[in-house]
Structures are given as C-alpha cells and as structure tokens.
A = this chain, B = another copy of it.
Amino acid sequence: MAPTQPERLSLTKSFGGWHGRYRHWSGVQNCDMTFAVYLPPAAEHRKVPALWWLSGLTCTDENFMQKAGAHRAAAEAGIALIGPDTSPRGTDLPGEHEAYDFGSGAGFYVNATQSPWSRHYRMYDYVTQELPALVQAHFPLNGREAISGHSMGGHGALVCALRNPARYSSVSAFAPICNPVQCPWGEKAFSGYLGDDREVWKQWDASELIAAHGSELPILVDQGDDDNFLRDGQLRPEALQYACSQAGVDLNLRMQPGYDHSYFFISSFIEDHIAHHAQAL
C-alpha cells in the first residue's frame, strides 16, 4: 500500500531552511501520527541525506526541533532532520496515559507483542519502515540515513542501527538507555510490551545485541556525569562499554563532566554529533 499523503500542520523558516510538522495515518500503528522534518537550504537544489532523531520519554516531535539548536548545524552540513513522535497517540488503552514511562510518550521503539499494546505500539516498524517510506516519497531525500537520539530515543537509535547493520551510515546517542533489560525503565516497558520472557527482551537491548552480533558501525555516545538517571542506574553506559570492548566494537563514549540529562546537554554537543554523521553521510 502506498503511503498516504501527509497533511502539513505548519511550515517555519529556520536557518535558511524549513521546519515542517506533518500528520498522517499510520497503518502500522492504527492511529494518526505527527512527525517533523527540517530541510536544510541545500534541499532546494538537490536531494539530501537524513538524520533520524528519536526522542526520549514524554517528548513529542517538538522538543528536539525547538530546544536542541540542531537546525544551525544541519543547515550548514546540508542534512535533513526527521523527528518522529515517541508513541502512538489518540488511542485510549487502559492505563495508557497514567505513567510518564509507559504508554503514551513512552513507546520505547519496540514492536509490542502483548495485548492491548500490540495493536498500536509498533514504533520499531514505524520508525524503520513506514515513516522512512513516507518521507522518502514526499521529501527531497537521497536515501542515505543516519540515526541518533536521546535517553529512550538513544536506546532506540542504537537498537535500530544494530538490528539493521547495512541500513544506517552512522549512529550516535545522548545519554542512551544502554541496557534496558537491566534497568527499571526497561523492565517495566519490556514486561508490558513484550511479556515476561527475558530472552525476547534481549533483541531490543543495545548491549545484548552487541554481545550477540557485534557491529561494524562506529558508535558515538555522549553522557553527562551529573545525570540523575545515570546515578539511578537507568542508563548503564558501562554495560555498553563492556559489550563493545568484548566484541571489538568502536565505541567513543564521552563522559561530559558536569552535564545533566537535559536539552541544554544535548544542545552543547549536537554540533559534534551532526559532524560525526555528516562525515559518514
């Protein structure tokens, strides 16, 4: 089935390019979804590569586009930014809107297998298949893709890249959930979306995927050392570091002194990440 034409909600000029927000019917998730695309000035003359950005818990397509200061570097590098939402919306499943870390705003970029979530919560297929086909059809993109994200979205970016070895030219993450099978956020989300079999969970865990399959892609990760979620054991970069060292994967894990989990942290280093991706794209 051809992707439905997305409906444009807004279009705003930014750093010489254009930031648009769009809504479309997602057949994969059985609901309307909203996403954002930033096109750099270069896209007026040629097709450009795309950097996917997966956001963290509670975010929509807006947080990154408004707060990360990424348009500046993307305009300069001639890279489009694509920002999906973080979960299905407009559904009303039991308990869906009760917690910030499960249900709406917290899709965790997996394909749910458990009822009632499995009918809608298929963010993995959405961000790796349905939405890429749609943006490829409707925007001036050259088909080359990189992926990055923050926190839950850093987990998503790593998992998407590791499960699709030839797909993305590069991957990076800010304060990712590196080992969800071993942290409270991941245990809660994976139990609910995937059921009780912890072996199944491992297919959605960056550290486990690297331990099982390795990776040819170099990985850039920035992590603030004053991040309260790091202290709470939600992020576990040490697990990713151990898996990469065992598997011979090229991980550049930069512990950034004094930085926390916020978009101020992301904006401070987004230029480095866009340069990392620009080189590969």
Q: A interface vs B, CB < 8 Å?
A: 12-16, 19, 66-67, 69, 71-72, 224, 226, 258-260, 262-265, 267-268
Please tell me how many copies of the chain the complex holds: 2
Instruction: Find out whether the CB atom of A13 lies under 8 angstroms from the CB atom of B259.
Output: yes
Q: How far is the CA of A69 from the CA of B65 in the complex (A)?
A: 11
Contacts of A263 in B (CB 8 A): 66
From B15, B66, B226, B262, contact of A268 by CB (8 A)? B15
Q: Which of B13, B66, B67, B268 contacts A258 (CB 8 A)?
A: B13
CA distance A262 to B69 in the complex (A): 14
Residues B12 and A260 in contact, CB atoms below 8 Å apart: yes
A258 to B13, CA, bound (A): 6
Q: Determine if B13 and A260 form an interchain contact, defined as CB atoms under 8 angstroms apart.
A: yes
| Set of chain B residues within 8 Å of A265, measured between Cβ atoms | 12-14
Smallest distance from the beta carbon of A207 to chain B beta carbons, Å?
27
The docked-state distance in angstroms from the alpha carbon of A14 to that of B258 is: 9
- Please give, as numbers and ranges, the residues of chain B lying within 8 Å of A13 by CB-CB distance: 224, 226, 258-260, 264-265, 268
- A19 CB to nearest chain B CB (Å): 6
Instruction: Please report the C-alpha to C-alpha distance between residue A260 and residue B14 in the assembled complex, in whole angstroms.
Output: 9
Report Cα–Cα, A14/B267, bound state, in Å: 8
Q: How far is the CB of A184 from chain B (nearest CB, A)?
A: 24
Nearest-CB residue, chain B, relative to A13: B258
A66 contacts across to B, CB distance below 8 A: 66-67, 263-264
B268–A16 touching, CB < 8 Å: yes
CB distance from A275 to the nearest CB of B (A): 14
CB distance from A223 to the nearest CB of B (A): 13
Find A69's partner among B16, B69, B226, B259 (CB 8 Å cutoff). B69
**A264 touching B69, Cβ below 8 Å:** no
Instruction: Please name all residues of chain B whose beta carbon is closer than 8 Å to the beta carbon of A67 when the two chains form the complex.
Output: 66-67
Q: Is the CB of B69 within 8 A of A268?
A: no
Residues of B within 8 A of A226 (CB): 13
**In the bound complex, do residue B72 and residue A264 qualify as a contact, i.e. CB atoms below 8 Å apart?**
no
Chain B residues contacting A260 (CB-CB under 8 Å) are 12-13
Of B12, B224, B262, which one neighbours A264 at CB under 8 angstroms? B12
A264 to B265, CA, bound (A): 19
Expressed in whole angstroms, the Cα–Cα distance for A14 and B269 within the complex equals 9
Q: Which residue of B lies closest to A65 (CB)?
A: B264
CA distance A69 to B262 in the complex (A): 14
CB nearest to A226 among chain B residues: B13
- Separation of A191 and B25 alpha carbons in the complex (Å): 48
A72 in contact with B267 given A13-B226, A66-B66, A67-B67 (CB within 8 Å)? yes
A69 neighbours in B (Cβ, 8 Å): 69, 72, 267
What are 8 residue pairs bridging A and B, where the CB atoms are less than 8 Å apart in the complex? Answer: A12-B260, A12-B262, A13-B224, A13-B258, A13-B265, A14-B267, A14-B268, A66-B67
